[in-house]
Amino acid sequence: MRMVDLIERKKLGEALTDAQIRFIIEGFTDGSIPDYQMSAFAMAVLFRGMDDRETAVLTDAMMRSGDTVDLSRFGDKSVDKHSTGGVGDKTTLIVAPIVACLGGRVAKMSGRGLGHTGGTVDKLEAIPGYRTVLTPEEFMQQVADIGIAVIGQSGNLTPADKKLYALRDVTATVDSLPLIASSIMSKKLAAGSHSIVLDVKIGSGAFMKTPEDGARLAERMVAIGRHCGRRVRAVMTDMDIPLGKNIGNALEVAEAADVLLGRGPDDLREVSFVLAQNMLELCNGWSADEARSRVEEAVASGAAFRKMQQWVAAQGGDALALEDHTRLPQARHALRVTAAHGGYITATDAQRIGEASCILGAGRKTKDDAIDYAAGIALHRKPGDRVKTGEELAVLYTNDEKTLAPAKELLLSALTWGEEAPEPQPLILGVVE
C-alpha cells in the first residue's frame, strides 16, 4: 500500500477502505508518511469529502493513535464541552467552573488557536503561572478534588490529530467537514468524558458559514458520539458577530472572569449559560428549567467565580489576576478607533475582526508563531448600536506598534453601516441530539 496511491484515489472522489484509512493514520503518526503527503491528502478530503463510514473510521483511528483517558471513576458525572471555533469565544473559562461547582466533573483537554479563532490553551497561558501541562496523576487528582482541570492536549493523546491539526492551519484545509468532525470527536472520545456538549458555531466568524453546513457538522458529530456509546448534544450558536466584546487572550480571560462576577456582556453570558445548562442536563439528569436555575444561582452567589479561582490556583496560576486585571499581560500600545460618520452598525464580518486581532499578535499565521498574550481588540460597538461621529468603536492593543494601522483598516472594513437598526439575530440557532 502506497500513500501516493491513496491520495490519488481520494483525489478522484473514491471511498477509502477501513484498512486504508488506518494505514494513513498509523503511518502519519509514526512518521513514515511525511507532512507533505498528509497535506495533499487533507486537501483531497477538503475537495472530495468522506462519507459517514470513512469519517467514523478516521475518528476511531485517530482516537486510537495514542493514549486514552479512563474517567470511569467519575461515572455519569464526567462531562466535556467543545466549540468548533469562533471569534471572542471564551465560554470554556465560564462554563467549566459553573458545571464543576454544581457536581459535574470537567476533565478537559483543549487546543491552541487555529486560523482566525482563538484557543483555550492560549487564553489560559495568558494567566501568569498557569500550567497547561499536568502529569496524568495530577490531572485525575485535581478533577477528583475540585471537579475541574483544563490542560493542553497531551503528546500521547490523539497524536495523529495533533499533527494534522497543525498542518490544517497552514494548508488552508481547516474548513473540511470530515476533518473538523473527526478532529473534534477523536479528542473528545479519547479524553474519556461520558457526556459531551458541542458548541457548533455558525456564521462569518466560524468555519461553518451557513446553518445548513452547521447542522450537517452537528449531526455528523452527534452520530459519531452515539456510535461510540457517549451522550452527545450539539448546540448551534451564532458567530456572525464576535462573542462578547473582548478578542485576544488576556482580554478574554478578564471578560470571562467578569461574567462569573455577575458582569460582562449579555450575549456571552447567555451563550455560556445555555451551554452550562445543557452540560448539567446530561451529567446530572436535571430538567432544562432546573439546570438553568442552578446555573444562575451559582453565578449570583459567587460560587462559580470561587471555583474559577480555585481551579486557576490549583494549576499554578495567579488567581488574583481574575479580579485585578492589571496583573494580566498589558500591551505597550493602544489605539482608539472612532467613527468617521454616524449611523447604525448593521452587520459585522466576524472573521475579518478575528484576522485584525491576529495582525495585532493575538493569533498565529503559522503553527510556529509566538502569541502576544496582551494583544487584541476591545470592541465597544456591535450590530444594532447607534453610533455618533467621533464615538469610540474599539480599542486596539499590541506590543508591536506597526501592526496598529493595518489592523485598524481591516477592522473598519468589517463593519457595515446603515440608516436603520437591523433586526436582532438569535444567539441559539438550534439543538441536535
Domain coordinates in residue numbering, the chain: 3-49, 72-322, 330-418
Quote the pLDDT of residue 423: 93
What angle (nearest 5°) sits at the alpha carbon of residue 85, between those of residues 81 and 89? Answer: 80
Alpha helices in 301-364 (DSSP H): 303-314, 350-360
Distance CA 364, CA 159 (A): 21
HSE, CB side, 13 Å, CA atoms: give it for residue 382: 21
Does the domain made of 3-49 have the CATH classification 1.20.970.10?
A: yes
Q: Which of 183, 186, 272, 357 is catalytic?
A: 183
Q: Which three cell numbers stand for residue 104?
A: 459535574
348 near 415, Cβ under 8 Å? yes
229 near 115, Cβ under 8 Å? no
Quote the pLDDT of residue 277: 98
Distance CA 135, CA 20 (A): 34
Tell the CATH topology of 330-418: Aldehyde Oxidoreductase; domain 3 (3.90.1170)
Q: Which of 122, 161, 349, 372 is catalytic?
A: 161
Q: Which of 64, 77, 82, 123 is catalytic?
A: 82
Give 149's strand partners: 107
User: Tens digit of pLDDT per residue, the chain (433 long)?
Assistant: 999 999 999 999 999 999 999 999 999 999 999 999 999 999 999 999 999 889 989 999 999 999 899 999 999 999 999 998 899 999 999 999 999 999 999 999 887 776 667 789 999 999 999 999 999 899 999 999 999 999 987 768 889 998 998 899 789 998 788 998 998 899 899 999 999 999 999 999 988 899 999 999 999 999 888 888 899 999 999 999 999 999 999 999 999 999 999 999 999 999 999 999 999 999 999 999 999 999 999 999 999 999 999 999 999 999 999 999 999 999 999 999 999 999 999 999 999 999 999 999 998 776 677 899 999 999 999 999 999 999 999 999 999 999 999 999 999 999 999 999 999 999 999 999 9
β-bridge pairing 386-387 and 415-418: unpaired
CATH of domain 72-322: 3.40.1030.10
The angle, 0 to 180 degrees and rounded to 10, between the axes of the packed helices 35-48 and 159-170 is 70
- Put the strands of the sheet holding 392-398 in their side by side order: 246-247, 376-379, 392-398, 333-338
Quote the pLDDT of residue 52: 86
Q: Which of 10, 64, 187, 307 is catalytic?
A: 187
Quote the pLDDT of residue 114: 63
- Put the strands of the sheet holding 79-83 in their side by side order: 79-83, 195-202, 231-238, 428-432
Q: Is 389 exposed, middle or buried (0-12, 13-18, 19+ CB in 10 A)?
A: exposed
Residue 282 makes CB contacts below 8 A (sequence gap 6+) with 79, 195, 197, 231, 233
154 is catalytic: no
Closest CA to 182 of 170, 172, 190: 190
183 is catalytic: yes
Q: Which of 64, 77, 116, 168 is catalytic?
A: 168
User: Model-level pTM?
Assistant: 0.90
Distance CA 345, CA 420 (A): 9
Distance CA 107, CA 75 (A): 12
Helices (H) and strands (E) in the chain, counts: 16, 13
Scan for cell 478532529, then name that residue: 183
146 near 100, Cβ under 8 Å? yes
161 is catalytic: yes
Quote the pLDDT of residue 341: 94
Q: Which helix (H) or strand (E) holds 212?
A: helix 211-227
Answer left, alpha or beta for residue 200, where phi above 0 means left and psi between -120 and 50 means alpha. beta
